[in-house]
Amino acid sequence: MTNSSQQNNVRVPRRLLVTGGAGFIGSNFVHYWCENYPDDRVVVLDALTYAGNRHTLAALEKRPNFRFVEGNICDRALADRLLQAEKIDTVAHFAAESHVDRSILGPGAFVQTNVVGTFTLLEAFRQHCNTLSFIPPVDGGDRGGVFLHVSTDEVYGSLGPNDPAFTETTPYAPNSPYSASKAGSDHLVRAYHHTYGLPTIITNCSNNYGPYQFPEKLIPLMCINALIGKNLPVYGDGQNVRDWLFVIDHCRALDVVIHRGKPGETYNIGGNNEVKNIDLVKTLCQLMDELAPDLPVRPCSNLISFVKDRPGHDRRYAINSTKLKTQLGWTPSVTVEEGLRKTVAWYLTHRDWWEPLLSEEYQAYYRQVYVS
């Protein structure tokens, strides 16, 4: 792991507000941060919507430097209270509506959470910054307080098969209500740095995977459906390409950005693992056949079924992380083969985590999206 304490042997403890910290990437980040920086104060703010799961953070609840607060990022009064009472110097902003399919069915929630919610946090943090006293001294390489906005590669739109990967200067061209709402929030974050001098940093990441991911997303959906003997639905012809990033590698990157990133900058975070959806599903099937002893259907590939493509389905995403590598020294450490094996093993041994999530609401959503 690369961080300022290793390079300079001096590190000022931070006081973090992590929004969306009970969600997939947020919860992995919280676990990572508490393990690596036990002296830091970590306050999680999460509305516990369908994709937020407080049980994911249960092991941290008794830590003296950890606090969980159930609440909405659109609640300005709550944001003000938390920033001031907890003397927050670092905001790690993960909270977002994040599933493209749900944004097609109901875009309003995406605009409210992703745009209005981010605006609310920025305004609260701007007022908080006016006190100035909350910023820790710049020492040992630390750059002081920061508002880290965690975004997506989907804001850049879709790539052709031979197009170069997205860079930080790629023009925005979002194609779904989800990616449009994230693009809007990115623009707000950038504007608050250039207009008000707020110490903001934006990261745009490729598709994440790993433990604690809600069952609606592709990889857990395939793992769980294979375990319960349901069809493995693949959109269209299955030739859509995604760059897959293991979630712990993402957390490592965010660590480096928080400690050494430059305010006002954007950093792309990719896994260097471009895979066609159908090839990814076939790899997951092979791993399930190998690792799961009591599958209802074997081989798993017999469950693969092609379903009607979703509207506006981007053909290919790919991230160029050269800036992050050359300026901050980060590279992904987990290959997609290693990461998928770890992820499949996690879902096999954590039925107690994902089985309660297969609610009637989830089943109704599933039928609406995948059953014609």
Kindly list the catalytic residues. Answer: 153-154, 178
Alpha carbons 111 and 103: distance in angstroms, whole number: 9
- For 291, phi then psi, to 5°, come to -100, -25
- For 205, phi then psi, to 5°, come to -110, 160
Alpha carbons 65 and 34: distance in angstroms, whole number: 9
Residue 164: half-sphere exposure toward Cβ, Cα within 13 Å: 8
Instruction: Estimate to the nearest angstrom the gap between the alpha carbon of 241 and the chain centroid.
Output: 19
Provide the token pair at 318. Answer: 């790919």
Alpha carbons 236 and 309: distance in angstroms, whole number: 4
Question: DSSP 3-state assignment of 18?
Answer: strand
Provide the token pair at 323. Answer: 């800036």
Q: Which amino acid is at 177?
A: P
Residue of 193, 187, 47 whose CA lies nearest to 113: 47
Which segments of the chain does DSSP mark as H helices, in order? 4-8, 24-36, 76-85, 100-105, 108-110, 118-129, 177-196, 218-228, 247-260, 277-291, 322-328, 336-349, 351-354, 360-370
Distances (CA, A) of 353 to 56, 92, 224, 246: 8, 25, 12, 19
